[in-house]
Structure 1
Amino acid sequence: MLRTVDEELTIDELASRAGVTVRTVRFYASRGLLPPPRLRGRVGLYGADHLARLDLIRELQNLGFTLTAIEGHLERIPEDAPPEELALQRALLAPWTSDQAEEIDRAELDRRAGRALSDEETEQLLTLGILERITDDSGRERLRLTSASMLNVGLQITELQLPSEMLLQAKHIVEQHTSQMAGELRELFAANVLRPYVERGRPESERERVRTAADQLRPLTIQVLVNGFQRAVNEVIRNHV
């Protein structure tokens, strides 16, 4: 929820609202990630724009951005950008899936699968990229579940007893083409919606339209891609009968 621009907070209040430490706020400010506070006497006061920037920084961190990458992204946003503009930036960066990777052990994997998985089945889940091997701070080997929603799909695939090499090649094909489509569609949206919006000076009157377009294009794009793939498969089948 956006706060009013007139709201004034001390650095302690800002840190508390943003869920970070005062030390973190000062560190971000020293790196130029936050604009200077407004001074009242010798007291620095912060507002909704600072809170919105901290929210955006957290979103970028959750997406795996390094500090250098975050600095580069924020450099492209005017320092006097209002909270609503920063909220738009967050909306544009929102992930298309709520899935988050999580660390689990073998017992937890078996519990989620509903049965004890064989070493071969676990290896196939690793081949599919649904699981990754990691080492924790104590040196113990653990598993990272990259997508909880894909675990059931992966288990059904392992039951088909297909060669691991085939699964690896299929994974490569899917990732190659989906990455290419994602890049091209992103560039299409940027060229026709985002860049014109920025070039016109990020007018307030267009901000909600851009945010709505980004939100609504997510489910529509997925629906179009699924339908397009299904039609392409049908065409391949017809051509090879």
Structure 2
Amino acid sequence: MAHEDGDGRRREYRAEELARLAGITTRTLRFYRERRLLAPPRREGRIAWYDDRHLARLRTIAALLERGHTLTGIAELAEAFEHGRGVGELLGVAPTEETPVRLTPEELAERFAGEVSPENLVAAMELGYVAVDGEEFVHISRNLLDASSALVRAGIPLGAVLEAGRRVREHADAVADLFAELVGAHAPAEEAQIGRRRVGTEC
């Protein structure tokens, strides 16, 4: 049964009630603890007490699972967030000062083996990868340009590469939104503001 501390603000739950509120079984709750997806509960003798932070984490896990993320990926995201690492670092992207690459239409077409169609150009611009400057195109990242053009040269259609980029961005935005909501709901005001800035700028 849930109970409150003396200040009447923080609710605590036994494992059975926490699992019920989160819509999972106690067995799943134990599994999440073993995978270190949850912080250890507060112990009072042999009784484990969980609070609203545990409930928020369980609901975040459920939302991420619904979006197609794996438990391993969720665990890595949670660890990165708790230790102040950005999503870019988690994905293995070292922080760099990217230099935009200027290309003529002919150079861009050659880079992507003639797959620069009007539709693909529009998609790349909507994703923010490419912009037009006078008679030239400007790509935001040499690393991304090299990686995407290598995929096209390997036989992957440019449209499929751009669609993958769009889906990655959607997942990153969803993760950022979920963690921002979690921080806003359960962290002190000052820490919440820092957390929202970190998540919002690095996804």
* TM-score over 0.5 for the pair: no
| TM-score, normalisation: structure 2 | 0.43
| TM-score, normalisation: structure 1 | 0.36
